[in-house]
Structure formats: C-alpha cells, structure tokens
Structure 1
Amino acid sequence: MRPNATLRDDIRDYWSARAASFDAAPGHGIATQTERVAWQRLLTRHLGIGHSRKAMDLACGTGEMAGVLCDLGYDVTALDWSEAMLDIACTKAIKSGREIAFRQADAEVTMEPDASHEVLLARHLVWTLVDPAAAFSEWRRILRPGGRLLIVDGDFVAAGWPSRLLHWIAGWMAPSSAPSQSRDLTEQHRSILERVHFKNGARAEAVAALLRSAGFTDIIVDRRLGSINRAIGRHAGILHGIKRQTQHRYAISAMRPFQ
C-alpha cells in the first residue's frame, strides 16, 4: 500500500489528465437547459434559494455545479485540487459572467476557516475519498451551525446485472461519442479505485452512517433523481438514461447542528 499522500497525488493527477475531456462525458458537463433546471430543482429542494448565502462547491471540477449554485443566488466559492480543472472552471465563469471565487486545495483538507460556509455541495466526490470520516469532520468544521451539506453520488463499482446488461447493449448498439480513456488512464483509474475507502462501492447507507458519526444531524437520503437522469438520457441516449435509473444513485443532505 502506498501512503495516503501518494494516493491523493494520484487522484489529483488523474483528474487533471481528464480535465480537457471531462465535460464530454454524460453526467459531467451539463449539456442542456432541461438538465440544468433539473439540477436547480434538486439543489433548491435540499438547500433552498441562495439569498447571497455563502456556499462552497467541493472538488468543483470544471465548475458546472458552482454555476448552478451561482444561478440560484449563492455567494459561491469553488474548490478543487486540480489546476487544470480550475483553469477550465474559471474560464467558464468569466465567459458566463458568473462571479465565483476559486481555491486550489484538497477537498479532504480544505484549509478554510471554521464555520465559514452556510452550504457545502459535493457532487461525485465521496466515492473517491481517501478518508471519508476525516473529510466529513472537516466539512462539519467549515459549516456554520445550522448549515447544510448536500452530497450527490452513487455506487459506480458494484453495478447490478441490469446496469451491466444495459452497458453491454449500449456499447454494442452505439459506441459512446465521448472520448475514450487511454490505456494508461484506465490503469490509473483502476489503481486508484483499489485504494480508496469505498473501493467496493459508496452505498448511501454507509455514507449516511459516517455522516452521523461525524456529528451531522437531520440526514435525508433522497433517491428522486429521475428528472436529472431523464434529461441526461435525452441528450446521451435512452439506454444511458435507463442505465442511470438502474444504478444506485442518491443525494444525501445533512445539517451541522447548532450545538
């Protein structure tokens, strides 16, 4: 086993190498206004409208969700450890006229002040965490009392037979138009997945239990992601949309208690 610092470096380098093609993969970039509205509805359901409240997008990638938060009226800071991802996210924000502050830092060790944000968002981050218990404690620390965390994630490892079958059918009928990974990147991804905490899949129940242990309360597991999946499916193809529906995907919201 390599030390955790090396694993975190590998994770950063992998996503930096993926940055240029990241948005082309279905579910990464927001491809249509219908999908954007579906994301807005999910965030509003759990976090409410911004009203200039301070929000942080953890591991923001190319800044898609930071843009959604900004459009909902939040005062947004977007954090990522990959300089390549941040460059793309910053360019998007400038072109769209969105005012978003960017920070380069590890989402597991944010270096943010105590109680500095009222909302935290983590999309497709938890499954890659090296030490989720420590990360959740860190996120609780930087949330204000009464602030909310929203996680959007899934088990992308232990796919059930319907998802595997649909993946095979989709590949046979219509190879993906998204850029394929090189052999080196595929091997790097496999190596990372073998070493992260959720190497066997990030199930909602396990994530919720760790949040509870970290001191979060009012934990809600929400699997009503159908409108997002359908919007992505209409753009990426019906089989991809059905595949998403069969996967273990979820949103989890949690609150930092006042005491």
Structure 2
Amino acid sequence: MQTAAALSNHDLRDEIKAYWSLRAETFDSQPGHEIFSEEERAAWHSLLRRHLGDGEGRQALDLACGTAVVSHLLDDLGFRVTGMDWAEPMLERARAKAKTRGRQIRFLMGDAENTMEADASYDVVTNRHLVWTLVDPLAAFREWHRVLKPGGKLLVVDGDFVNPGLVAKLAKRLAVMVSRFTGESSKPQNGPATGAMTETHQSILSRVYFSQGARAEAVADLLRQAGFSTVTIDTDMRAIHRTQKKNFSFLKGLERATQHRYAICAVK
C-alpha cells in the first residue's frame, strides 16, 4: 500500500472520472451493479436496515452514486436522498431513472473526496464500491465525518478485488478452461466491456491507495483515524450473493461469493 502523498496527483483523478464516465453506458446492464430481481432488492434492504434502520425522513448522502442504485434503495426505506457523482453520464442516467420511477431524489455533481456540503448536514452517508478507488481515503473519511451530524452513520459497501481467495482463484481458472471448450467468455460479467477498458481499470487500480487490496480491517483503521467511533465490520453478504448468482454462470457466481466483500458501519 502506497502513501497518500505519493498518490495525490490530479491526472489519476481525471483518469478515474473519465473511466467511470465511459462505464456509465453499460453499468445498469451488468449483474452486481443494477438490481435484477425483487429478491435481490429485499436482500439489499435488509443490509441497509441492519445498519441504518428505516429512513423516517432522515437525510442521506449517497456518494459516487453512479446510476443511483443505492440511492433508490435508500429512497425505498424512507430516507430523503441526495445522490452525488462526478461523472455526468452517470448522473444523466440517474436522473432519467428517478424520473421514470417517480422518485424525488436530489442529484448533485460533486467530488466524493471534497463534497462542498455543509458541516453536519446529513444523518447518513453511504457508498458502494467507492473506497477501493480513492486516492486519499483518510482525507475522504474526514470529509464524510465532517458532513455527518453527531450520531450520524456512515455505511461503506466494498471489497478486496485484488487478492482472491483460494476458491476464487480455482473458480477463475476453471472459468478460463470452460471458456476454451465452450466459447463462453471468461471475462467478469460486471467488469469492463472491452480490452482497452480492462487495461485502463488495471492501470488505475495499480496507482490508487488500496492498490494492494481494500481489506476491511485497513479501511476500518483509517475510519477510526478519521474520528469515527463504533466501527463495525459486517462480512455477511450471503443473502445478496445468493440472489445475484442467478445472473452469473456457476463459476463466476462462485468466484464472486468467495471474494472478500463487506459492509462497514461507522458512527460519528
């Protein structure tokens, strides 16, 4: 893991922004991003309720909201939601989706590491698959702590996508072998759509703070350094994975289910 000072360069952040702008076109068509069944939606609701409770009109900030998948889940539970993303193509799709579904979700273009929102303005801050992309996570965590009200909660949903476990490694090798015989692609079904995008993804991953993998304990330690208390790591993502595997091949579903994925809840 490299130091944040060595990684704080504007060019990398521009690359990350451009990459996710390009990914917007296919984001909602990929399993693991958009929700494909009511069973999966219920599993996500259960995770959110477990850590955040029902919304009851509380203010929630969904950072790096993308096409607003988590924003809609929070809206389902009764939160008043603001979705923030710095990729305009993602926000265009998020706004269109909310309009189609008749949802009153507020969307802002902004930087998750420097939101420019007021101090103590949110009861809840959420993000999914954002932390592994951060250039300076400690600064970002301090920013999220700042915008939360006293007693407010942060919920991080993320994973280590660099260091697969033994089962995941075997599943990936088997997937490659199967593809040779059947012609089925071994490329991750929720990953970049082209070889060039895959190369860009790997280049970015090699230069972010968590280039060696965003392990839950390392993330939790930085959250404590940022001032959060009662930091809870939840690795029970089985209900979500069970519903998602219907949209993956057996081997790819097995690989996904055995990755180090987690939710971390931290209190201000």
Scaled by the length of structure 1, what TM-score is found? 0.94
Deviation at 1:246, TM superposition (A): 1.0
Residues 91 and 215 of structure 1: CA distance in aligned 2, closer, same or farther (over 3 Å) = same
Deviation at 1:66, TM superposition (A): 0.3
Q: Which deviates more, 214-223 or 169-178? A: 169-178
Give yes or no for the alignment of 1:191 onto 2:203: yes
What residue is the counterpart of 1:152 in the other structure?
157
- In structure 2, distance between residues paired with 1:3 and 1:126: 15
- In structure 2, distance between residues paired with 1:170 and 1:61: 29
Deviation at 1:213, TM superposition (A): 0.5
> What is the one-letter code of the residue matched to 1:198?
F
What residue is the counterpart of 1:111 in the other structure?
116
Give yes or no for the alignment of 1:78 onto 2:90: no
> What is the one-letter code of the residue matched to 2:194?
S
Q: Which deviates more, 149-158 or 228-237? A: 228-237
What residue is the counterpart of 2:65 in the other structure?
60
Q: Which digits, 9 at most, give the CA deviation of each residue in 1:225-257, with x for residues without a partner?
A: 00000100022233333222211011000000x
- In structure 2, distance between residues paired with 1:180 and 1:254: 31
In the alignment, structure 2 segments of 5+ residues that lack a partner are: 1-5
Give yes or no for the alignment of 1:166 onto 2:178: no
- In structure 2, distance between residues paired with 1:70 and 1:178: 24
Contact 1:233 1:239 in 2 (8 A): no
What residue is the counterpart of 1:229 in the other structure?
241
Deviation at 1:29, TM superposition (A): 0.9
SS in 2 for 1:229: helix
- In structure 1, distance between residues paired with 2:157 and 2:137: 14
Contact 1:27 1:232 in 2 (8 A): yes
> What is the one-letter code of the residue matched to 1:125?
L
Q: Which digits, 9 at most, give the CA deviation of each residue in 1:154-187, with x for residues without a partner?
A: 0001112311221232342542666852232122
Counterparts of residues 1-259 of structure 1 (less than 5 Å):
4-171=9-176, 172-173=178-179, 174-175=184-185, 181-256=193-268
- In structure 2, distance between residues paired with 1:163 and 1:81: 32
Residues 58 and 180 of structure 1: CA distance in aligned 2, closer, same or farther (over 3 Å) = closer
Residues 77 and 178 of structure 1: CA distance in aligned 2, closer, same or farther (over 3 Å) = closer
Residues 223 and 178 of structure 1: CA distance in aligned 2, closer, same or farther (over 3 Å) = closer
Contact 1:24 1:179 in 2 (8 A): no
- In structure 1, distance between residues paired with 2:60 and 2:15: 27
Contact 1:148 1:254 in 2 (8 A): yes
> What is the one-letter code of the residue matched to 2:60?
A
- In structure 1, distance between residues paired with 2:261 and 2:191: 23
Deviation at 1:3, TM superposition (A): 5.4
Residues 2 and 68 of structure 1: CA distance in aligned 2, closer, same or farther (over 3 Å) = closer
Residues 180 and 118 of structure 1: CA distance in aligned 2, closer, same or farther (over 3 Å) = closer
Contact 2:23 2:192 in 1 (8 A): no
- In structure 1, distance between residues paired with 2:191 and 2:152: 38
Scaled by the length of structure 2, what TM-score is found? 0.91
- In structure 1, distance between residues paired with 2:121 and 2:210: 28
In the alignment, structure 1 segments of 5+ residues that lack a partner are: none
How many residues align? The count is 256
Q: Which digits, 9 at most, give the CA deviation of each residue in 1:79-105, with x for residues without a partner?
A: 000000000111100001111000101
- In structure 2, distance between residues paired with 1:16 and 1:32: 26
> What is the one-letter code of the residue matched to 1:137?
R
- In structure 1, distance between residues paired with 2:151 and 2:8: 35
